[in-house]
Structure 1
Amino acid sequence: METIKNIIIGFGKGGKTLAKFLAQKGEEVLMIEKSDKMYGGTCINIACLPSKRLIIEAANGVEFTDAVNGKNEMTTMLRGKNYHMLADEKTVTLLDGEAKFIADHEIEVKTTTGEVKQYCGERIFINTGAVPVMLPIPGLAESKAVLDSTAAMEQATMPKKLVIIGAGYIGLEFASMFAQYGSQVTVLDLHEQFLPREDDDIATAIKHDFEDRGVKFELGVKIKRIDQETVYYEKNDTEQSIAADRILVATGREPNTAKLGLENTGIELTDRGAIKVDDHLKTTVDNVWAIGDVKGGLQFTYISLDDFRIIKDQLYGTGKRSLADRNNVPYSVFIIPPLSRVGLSEKEAQAKGIEYELKKLPVAAIPKAQVLKDPRGLFKALLEPKTGQILGVVLYGAESFELINMISLAMKMRIPAAILRDQIYTHPTMSESFNDLFK
């Protein structure tokens, strides 16, 4: 059995960045990836970048088939770039295959060519990401109309009628995108309340804008079964049905641990099936770490990148950086217009009994929004009454995915809202809205 200093399982954001860093330090790295279509990880191949490319193309009026072809060209280019980023390093070995633990520091890899190889790793980093959750709905597995989020972006033709199961953020991004392309979209969801994590005024505005574009919502439903292209569901104790060309299941993602053979190790899982880690991303086995979605928590590629920074600091730094430092992480939902948030929402502040000063600004009052021909939305900010520090901001409106990073930085550096209020911004821009939002 060959011994390798660093074994990384999964070519995702945190893992590939770590591999490159270690290679530049002259360290030996074995990178294992089960598919040559996933070099670079989920984000560039089947998630963030291809989905956002399709969303932008929809907003630009590009035909669906042309948009998919352009998306495929982009992902192929990025995949090749990521491959060479590691393959061209002298101390990195890329191995296509599926890895399984046979002991705490020993793995077996069944390669794509059918070989079985075994390795012992002095350090092992698990970076296998997450996979779509497919609910145990009768008929779901047998239906040829059912898609997951990956297959939804590979369709050769646009579905004229689309049913989406799940009104979470992923489901809404696809609903927004396909509606923009011209699909007739219906969204089914178990919850009675739309976007329960968001403030009621924000959720109401988003739902109104979706419905204004023809998207239909059926909330508080229980999916009973799927019969090929028909979904049967129960609402108000009455069974109903809806037929569609395609049925997209967008009911979340779960850590990808099922085939890792963790039962052969001392690596423990959380109640939700994620790999249990401490604040330094160490598992319950020495010199084995977990990076990215597989460890649970926020499923963002920028979280995986920050996981790399934590591990880098342990191997070649002070070791002080940890998950405890990770506060006020921003996120964006790329619907049209986009929703972005960081820190406390008004609903959360009220639930925790935290005093706040509320600031609101309708997006229609921002000159750049009129230039962009999209005045929809609402900006909200919560400030600490005595100090003027920003407790949280919700931005539902054009270009919010750029603005939220400025807010996140201000919160991290404890810059009070008055500084953003009095800042000189270029004009016309969406960022100058802070002059008015923080008045």
Structure 2
Amino acid sequence: MNKYDAIIIGFGKGGKTLAGAMEGQGWKVAMIEQSANMYGGTCINIACIPSKSLAYQSEHAESFHRESFQNQKAYYHKAISSKDELVSSLRSKNYHKLSDKGGMTVFTGKASFESSREVKVEMQDETIILTAERIFINTGAVPIVPNIEGIGECHRVYDSTTLMEQTELPKRLVIVGGGYIGLEFASMYANFGSEVTVLDGAKEFLGREDRDIAEEILKTLEDKGIQYQSNAKVQSVKDMEGGAQVIYLLDGEHPETVQTDAILLATGRKPNTEGLHLDKAGVTLDEKGAIQVDKHLQTSVPRIWAMGDVKGGPQFTYISLDDYRIVKDQLFGDGTRNTEDRVNIPYSVFIDPPLSRVGLTEEEARKQGFQIKIAKMPVAASPRAQLMKETEGILKAVVDAETEQILGCALFCTESSEIINIAQIAMQTGQKYTFLRDHIFTHPTMSEIFNDLFEQVK
């Protein structure tokens, strides 16, 4: 009765898509998800969709709700409600997309391995053992909780998930961590009207980006009123009357104190493997705690695969979706698709305006020995940006001086999350930069800015 062709642990993007494909091939599939609030995975429930819903609505808050903090709080409350409705609808749709299929069974409970073929599921009313020859781990990642005094006792501490569950806008918000997630929330909550302070343990703001791009981003964030502090090591947090207190060391020696209404921990995420008992299955982890996989996503046990954030690497939904394609190709195709096929993966950071990047930075290209040319221009040169009155930002491209191919592109501008894909496709297909310089784009659009950007190559 509890024997299946495949068991999938975790209802995330890769797992749920693979489940549908396997059921379509006539397989009997068990999907295990430990929380009814996570049907559909991280992106739909606690990450991409809810945060981008709030980010989008925050841009309107910045324009129309500056007259009083009470109005800002009311608008924020409505934004949270709208976000919750969207997430609830998508969660239900994802659940029924699988549960309504004849060959699918969804189990809501905590999964753990008993052996390489057996998975125990502890549900609310019973515990059962499922067996299958093929098992797929898709359990995602969880927030890293830093070792800070008082962090377990302070009632004003949140992670990115729990902060978005609060219906009252914090007047003051301290964000611990200056990475991409921290900056997205900083931009979003500043737009809603919060007084935001970012305490970044790093010595350099956005160290992965070229300094001209990073400086432009920092200027834009500071223009929103965001207070950013680098090389700030948080020492302790504690509740106080009407809020909380954060004590941090500046430059490793100067103690500073800031009062706040909420503290967001944005110190990274780690693979979610706790409680899986992977040792019983013989599945090994790497030095960072991620499940080790080969280029076909098989673990140290060939009949067990890992997909998505739990295996480490870039934590993007579209990477998890490509994991599905790789596994599907092994099961039902010729088995040639693998992780080595992935080059020039773009990403977007949804600050306001968003930063999108693909390929090498100028610094990376020089370190790798390329002879390069640079193209750079302000976003204000775009007619589309002018008519939308969103002229903040800068555009930059790195070109191989010998082959004239595009090595990298950084777009800090409105709609960059859309048009970065144009640059990626040009790179992926080996086009010279002149392809975009001379391409015919519709007008007035943000995409036509590539005509002007690549005219600047020198």
Task: Please tell me the TM-score bracket, short chain as reference.
Answer: over 0.9
Per mean C-alpha deviation after superposition, the further-off stretch among 56-65 and 140-149 is 56-65
**Where does residue 44 of structure 1 map in the other structure?**
44
CA distance in 2, matches of 1:2, 1:159: 48
1:71 pairs with one of 83, 89, 113: 83
| Count of paired positions | 438
- Structure 1 residue runs of 5 or longer lacking an equivalent are none
CA distance in 1, matches of 2:32, 2:169: 35
**Where does residue 21 of structure 2 map in the other structure?**
21
1:78 is matched by which residue type in structure 2?
L
1:233 is matched by which residue type in structure 2?
Y
**Where does residue 189 of structure 2 map in the other structure?**
178
2:445 is the counterpart of 1:434: no
Residues 46-71 of structure 1 deviation map (CA, whole Å, 9 limit, x = unaligned): 10011000000011227110000000
CA distance in 1, matches of 2:179, 2:89: 30
1:295 is matched by which residue type in structure 2?
K
Deviation (angstroms), 1:138: 1.2
Deviation (angstroms), 1:356: 1.1
Deviation (angstroms), 1:387: 2.1
2:246 is the counterpart of 1:231: yes
1:157 pairs with one of 159, 168, 184: 168
CA distance in 1, matches of 2:107, 2:218: 46
Deviation (angstroms), 1:406: 0.9
**Where does residue 85 of structure 1 map in the other structure?**
97
2:294 is the counterpart of 1:283: no
Deviation (angstroms), 1:88: 1.0
Matches within 5 A, 1:243-258: 243-258=259-274
CA distance in 2, matches of 1:115, 1:403: 50
Per mean C-alpha deviation after superposition, the further-off stretch among 157-166 and 263-272 is 263-272
Equivalent position SS for 2:38:
coil
Runs of 4+ in 1 over 4 A off after TM superposition: none
Is the Cα–Cα contact under 8 Å of residues 359 and 408 in structure 2 kept in the other structure? yes
**Where does residue 391 of structure 1 map in the other structure?**
407
Residues 374-401 of structure 1 deviation map (CA, whole Å, 9 limit, x = unaligned): 1111111111112211111000111100
**Where does residue 332 of structure 1 map in the other structure?**
348
Matches within 5 A, 1:38-437: 38-61=38-61, 63-111=75-123, 113-228=124-239, 229-236=244-251, 237-437=253-453
CA distance in 2, matches of 1:257, 1:307: 18
Deviation (angstroms), 1:114: 3.4
Deviation (angstroms), 1:434: 0.8
Is the Cα–Cα contact under 8 Å of residues 3 and 122 in structure 1 kept in the other structure? no
1:104 is matched by which residue type in structure 2?
S
CA distance in 1, matches of 2:422, 2:171: 39
Is the Cα–Cα contact under 8 Å of residues 371 and 402 in structure 2 kept in the other structure? no
Equivalent position SS for 1:69:
helix
CA distance in 2, matches of 1:58, 1:74: 16
CA distance in 1, matches of 2:319, 2:98: 21
2:111 is matched by which residue type in structure 1?
A
For the aligned residue pairs, the C-alpha RMSD in angstroms reads: 1.0
2:152 is matched by which residue type in structure 1?
A
2:29 is matched by which residue type in structure 1?
V
CA distance in 2, matches of 1:301, 1:355: 34
- Structure 2 residue runs of 5 or longer lacking an equivalent are 66-74
Is the Cα–Cα contact under 8 Å of residues 179 and 215 in structure 1 kept in the other structure? yes
Per mean C-alpha deviation after superposition, the further-off stretch among 120-129 and 344-353 is 344-353
Per mean C-alpha deviation after superposition, the further-off stretch among 229-238 and 284-293 is 229-238
CA distance in 2, matches of 1:239, 1:424: 57
Deviation (angstroms), 1:263: 2.0
CA distance in 2, matches of 1:205, 1:20: 44
Residues 102-126 of structure 1 deviation map (CA, whole Å, 9 limit, x = unaligned): 1112111101x23111112210000
CA distance in 2, matches of 1:288, 1:329: 26
